[in-house]
């Protein structure tokens, strides 16, 4: 076999032997190519995650600003509905004052009762409820004892008399009921 027949020495093949890669180096090149591709994919995922992070941070900042505006508006206008509910009560009281000089006692009383009902309904619509604990056991978290009084008929440590009713707003105490508490005769 001549040099030309064995594939050596052909024109244009002079560097073929020099560029031939040993099998272990070929495996390393394949591994290097795979690692470079994995690196490129990882970098792309990292860019994508960074963009998502920046969007999330911006959205969180927008939510914070929107919430702050809502809180400011609630503080500024939160009593608007409540005030609107009280306007009929004010109107009723103004009408009573205007007609009070020429009205009889019965119509004045009826007007006062109607006004009181308007006020009670307005308070009720906003979750304000009356605490009238007459006959109930004394509860220092909801009642304020003005004094104690001996009683042969009432249970000791129970509310004998309500001096001033209390009020709650949606279950939260606004004002305790002022009461006289019964004690055993002694």
For the segment 146-186, what is each residue's pLDDT rounded down to a tens digit? 999 999 999 999 999 999 999 999 999 999 999 999 999 87
Query: In this structure, are 30 and 42 located in the same domain?
Result: yes
Q: Which residue numbers in the chain have pLDDT < 50?
A: 1-16
The predicted structure's pLDDT at residue 18? 58
50 domain-assigned = yes
How many structural domains compose the chain? 3
Query: In this structure, are 186 and 132 located in the same domain?
Result: yes
pTM of structure: 0.58
13 domain-assigned = no
4 domain-assigned = no
Query: In this structure, are 176 and 137 located in the same domain?
Result: yes
Query: In this structure, are 61 and 87 located in the same domain?
Result: no
Closest CA to 160 of 143, 183, 139, 185: 183
Query: In this structure, are 133 and 171 located in the same domain?
Result: yes
The predicted structure's pLDDT at residue 46? 97
33 domain-assigned = yes
Of 126, 146, 162, the last residue of a domain is 126
What is the domain extent for residue 139? 128-186
Query: In this structure, are 132 and 113 located in the same domain?
Result: no
162 domain-assigned = yes
Tell me the residue ranges of DSSP E strands in 40-176.
128-131, 143-150, 159-164, 166-169, 172-175
Interatomic CA distance for residues 43 and 90, integer angstroms: 70
2 domain-assigned = no
Q: What is the CATH number of the domain that holds 159?
A: 2.30.22.10
Interatomic CA distance for residues 55 and 81, integer angstroms: 38
The predicted structure's pLDDT at residue 61? 96
8 domain-assigned = no
Query: In this structure, are 71 and 88 located in the same domain?
Result: no
């Amino acid at each position: 076999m001549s040099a030309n027949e064995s594939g050596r020495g052909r024109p244009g093949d002079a560097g073929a032997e020099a560029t031939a890669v040993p099998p272990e180096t070929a495996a390393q090149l394949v591994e290097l190519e795979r690692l470079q591709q994995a690196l490129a994919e990882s970098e792309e995922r990292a860019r994508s995650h960074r963009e998502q992070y920046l969007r999330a941070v911006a959205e969180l900042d927008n939510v914070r600003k929107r919430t702050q505006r809502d809180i400011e508006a609630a503080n500024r206008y939160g009593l608007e509905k409540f005030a609107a509910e009280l306007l009929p009560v004010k109107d009723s009281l103004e009408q009573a004052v205007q007609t009070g000089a020429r009205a009889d006692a019965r119509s004045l009383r009826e007007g006062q009762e109607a006004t009181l009902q308007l006020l009670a309904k307005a308070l009720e619509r906003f979750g304000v409820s009356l605490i009238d604990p007459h006959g109930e056991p004394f509860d220092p978290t909801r009642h304020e004892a003005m004094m104690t009084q001996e009683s042969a008929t009432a249970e000791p440590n129970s509310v004998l008399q309500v001096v001033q009713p209390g009020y709650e707003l949606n279950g939260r105490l606004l004002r305790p009921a002022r009461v006289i508490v019964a004690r055993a005769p002694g």
